[in-house]
Amino acid sequence: MNLNSPIAGVAEPMQPFVVNISDKFSRFNQHWSPKIVGEVNDCAVKLVKLKGEFVWHSHEREDEMFLVIKGSLRMLLRDRELVVNEGEFVIIPRGVEHCPVADEEVHVMLFEPAGTLNTGSVTNERTVSEPERI
Ligand code: NI
């Protein structure tokens, strides 16, 4: 019997676990298809491979953080462009239109609420409504 078992109906507390980022990235090849690898408070931690140009969009209620693990990401904003290099991150506040561009493949870790749609207020063939957990 597990003496730590929770009261029926109460979620068991998460156990700490180590995630190897490059191992997770080796498990998928699709571009623009975020995978969930963890949660922190109300935020999902997602990994995504980017290549090419995405779509212009914004998120009405969510801020998004892009941490570049590999490569160099160009984040187009309406009035300028930000270059986010390996080891750097950018936070796109809610409501700000943005369009990520990856001239070469870029690996990114995203921090955003679990329900955040990758295409924000735009719905098209690139929208991933229920990201896979890996
Ligand atoms: Ni976005």
51 Cα–ligand 1 center, Å: 15
Which tens digits make up the pLDDT trace of 83-130? 999 999 999 999 999 999 999 999 999 999 877 877 887 788 778 778
Instruction: Give dist(CA 84, CA 133) in Å, integer.
Output: 26
pLDDT tens for residues 26-69?
999 999 999 999 999 989 999 999 999 999 999 999 999 999 99
Q: What separation in Å is there between the alpha carbon of 7 and the centre of ligand 1?
A: 39
48: closest CA among 58, 33, 37?
33
CA of 116 to the centre of ligand 1 (A): 8
Tokens of 55: 């779509």
Average pLDDT over residues 8-31: 87
Distance 102 CA to ligand 1 centre (A): 14
Q: Which residues, including other chains, have CB under 8 Å from residue 131's CB and lie 6 or more apart?
A: 33, 34, 35, 36, 44, 46, 118
pLDDT over threshold 90, residue 4: no
**CATH code, 21-116:** 2.60.120.10
Cα 122 to ligand 1 centroid, rounded to whole Å? 10
Residue 7 has pLDDT above 60, yes or no: no
Q: Evaluate whether 34 touches 114 at the Cβ level (below 8 Å).
A: no
As a whole number, mean pLDDT of residues 63-76 equals: 98
The pLDDT value given to residue 2: 46
Give 8 Cα–ligand 1 centroid separation in angstroms.
Answer: 38
